A and B are shown apart, each in its own frame.
Chain A
């Protein structure tokens, strides 16, 4: 009488350890299909990350000229903003710098305000406040700075945060002069990157006369 080899005790053990041809092919097929799907799915995720976007390039030319900023003469601090490009250009007694108006809390655009300390409990005579306005030389009695409309963070004119949830100062970005006397701002080139708690006044400036920067970068 013919006996199925798998019906013997030894055969039963074999059938547990060894797969039949059908089981093996099923396993290979299933693992292969699953692997291909996983790999393909992960690769397809790249579709959602475009290699190029139609966003504005980081470098742009301001709509105001160098003379617009330096020409007035009566004010020792003058500020001109390009809010569409989120950059403010500041002129003080040392030179020119550009602040990239991206709140370090959650990325809104802070507004330029003339009395930044009002309502914060920070007094104008406090030593820390005075430090950030040394460059003014008292020419402007009000405290210029930035106030974020989203969660109320406040920044002094040198972009140092002093109130609200902002964790660190806003960044300064590279600014230079074009031959036709406009400013060229490169938002991708950060010149001053200060960590949380850094309240030093950056020394980086663009000289309005020579058109060259002094190269005093921080944190880059």
Chain B
């Protein structure tokens, strides 16, 4: 049953919990405020094997599974949501597709150093005019001899400013729609790979993202991931895994907000009693805890389906949809329970509220998750 974790999974979870408690939680507010990428802490995550939890050890990964991965991202995000998404992108959006769709030669160059944590990857799908509608890719890759010449723009690229390589999606044949989309593995220091300054965002301010331009970027055909035209399938399969990571991130944020609210409710007094004595507060806490548990179960189900190798698009979308919207509600309630203190930057609660909001937007908005779920329901 899902509720039974293996010793290995439990050990990783506990290790991550302890790490988050010691290294992330005390510093996350300062990183958020200064918009600092926590390079040192991320490096320590690499040492814990968190860059590619489910990738085999042979390729530099931790050789565990996706349930372990989801537990790890949840615990890390409970300490710092920005660090959580940095890892989620490394695991799900970079290492996973390189492992799954790459050749051994590509894995040696583009997976092992990344899975082992020496380098960091990112995922280049979104464009200014292709967000929810990922099929609207405009970044063009034109074949010239044994190379492709790439021109275009990608934006909101999480890890972008600090990444060493990217899974880059392009159009190789504009006449074929989604079947004309092709993926490449590209080093970010290649000539013609240009990065703008980091985005100014509402939350996850310690997770840098940016816009990237490709100005006659030349890529050897050996760096093509899969065949020409496989790109869209690779992207969608990759996001099925990524959504598990974001669901776990959303749960971690919600737990931090919930735990803060529970502690505060026990010490804050109004009308001569701790506010936890008021039914209005008790019911809010009850709803928060129930929703967190439901999201955890949905997420672990999707992760174990991925581990079992069965199709899990619908389950990943359900987990991501529910966990992200749950996180929005729980962090909002936490601000409310804290009252004025929740609105102040003195406590981390307002940060959890800001951080939670992105989980309903990236890796497919809630609307896209509903589309995926509805399509799956109606096709059956």
Real complex partners, A and B? no
Q: Which A residues contact B (CB, under 8 angstroms)?
A: none
Q: Which B residues contact A (CB, under 8 angstroms)?
A: none
